[in-house]
Amino acid sequence: MPIIAIDYDGTYARFPEQFDELRKSFQATGSKVYIVTARCQETSPILDDLSAFDDVIYTCNKAKAATIKADIFIDDNPITLCCDLEIGDTKVDALPASNLHHVYENEDRKWHWIHDFSRFVTEKIN
């Protein structure tokens, strides 16, 4: 059963009607549809009624893809999928907490999101 993970801030919150239609469409096929947010539930809970979603998952600044295994992620800030974040005064200041260690086909590679992500993806695709 496919799992669809939709970010809240900047994604669902910006286009709720459109994402509600998308949610209904995926749920009609048997998929699970979650809201997955980098927020911390204790300090910054989402107040909107999201009960139609199968779950709301708070990662509290941890990498979303490390917190939940989803088949499709929809997110306006893809850095939150693979990197733990250090949050400054605003969400705009979100940066990886450190260089990311990534294992790909038994190959341990250390790379920095801003400088090496494009090169890493290009090497693995080609």
Q: Residue 92's pLDDT is what?
A: 42
Domain ranges for the chain: 3-125
Identity of the amino acid at 115: H
Report the C-alpha gap between 27 and 54 in whole angstroms. Answer: 9
Tens of pLDDT along 17-44? 999 999 999 999 999 999 999 999 999 9
Tens of pLDDT along 50-103? 999 999 999 998 889 889 999 999 998 888 888 887 665 444 444 455 444 443
Using CA atoms of 108, 78, 3, 6 in order, give the dihedral in degrees to the nearest 10.
Answer: 160
pTM above 0.85, yes or no: no
Position 113 pLDDT exceeds 60: no
